[in-house]
Amino acid sequence: MEEKINDLILMAKKEISDVTKEADLLNIKSKYLGKKSEFNALLASLKDMSSEDKKVFGPLLNARKKELEQLFNDKFDSLSCKIDLSFDESLPINITKGSLHPVTIVAKEITDVLKRMGFTVLKGYEMEDDYHNFEALNIPKDHPARDMQDTYYLDNGLLLRTQTSGDQIHAMEKYDLPLRICSPGRVFRNEDLDASHENTFFQIEGMVVDKNIKVENLIYVMREVLKEVFHQDVKVRLRPGFFPFTEPSFEMDMSCLICGGKGCSTCKGGGWIELIGCGMVHPNVLKNCGIDPDVYTGFAFGIGLTRLAMMKYKISDIRYLNSGDLRFLDEFEIE
- Reported as a single tens digit per residue, the pLDDT across 5-43 is 888 888 888 888 888 887 788 788 888 887 778 877 887
257 vs 218 pLDDT, higher one:
218
Alpha-helix residue ranges (DSSP H) falling in 19-50: 22-33, 38-44
Alpha-carbon distance 320 to 194, whole Å? 11
Give CA 117 to chain center in angstroms: 12
Give CA 216 to chain center in angstroms: 19
Chain mean pLDDT for the chain: 83
Statement: residue 123 has pLDDT above 50 = yes
Alpha-carbon distance 254 to 4, whole Å? 56
Alpha-carbon distance 86 to 93, whole Å? 15
As a whole number of Å, the CA-based R_g of the chain is: 23
Cα–Cα distances in Å, from 75 out to 26, 36, 56, 97?
Answer: 11, 22, 29, 34
Mean pLDDT of 261-273: 84
Statement: residue 316 has pLDDT above 80 = no
299 vs 52 pLDDT, higher one:
299
* pLDDT-based confidence at residue 312 (cuts at 50, 70, 90): confident
By C-alpha distance, which of 276, 330, 335, 254 is closest to 110?
276
Statement: residue 96 has pLDDT above 70 = no
- Residues 220-261: pLDDT tens digits? 898 888 888 888 777 888 889 888 899 999 998 888 878 888
| Residues paired with 185 in a beta bridge | 203
Domains of the chain: residue spans and CATH: 2-80 (no CATH), 102-329 (3.30.930.10)
Alpha-carbon distance 30 to 80, whole Å? 19
Torsion of CA 248, 218, 201, 119, to 10 degrees: -130
- Residues 145-192: pLDDT tens digits? 676 668 888 999 999 999 999 999 999 999 989 999 999 999 998 766
Alpha-carbon distance 165 to 303, whole Å? 11
pLDDT at 89: 62
- Kindly report whether the global pTM for this prediction surpasses the value 0.85: no
- Residues 77-90: pLDDT tens digits? 787 655 555 556 66
pLDDT at 334: 44
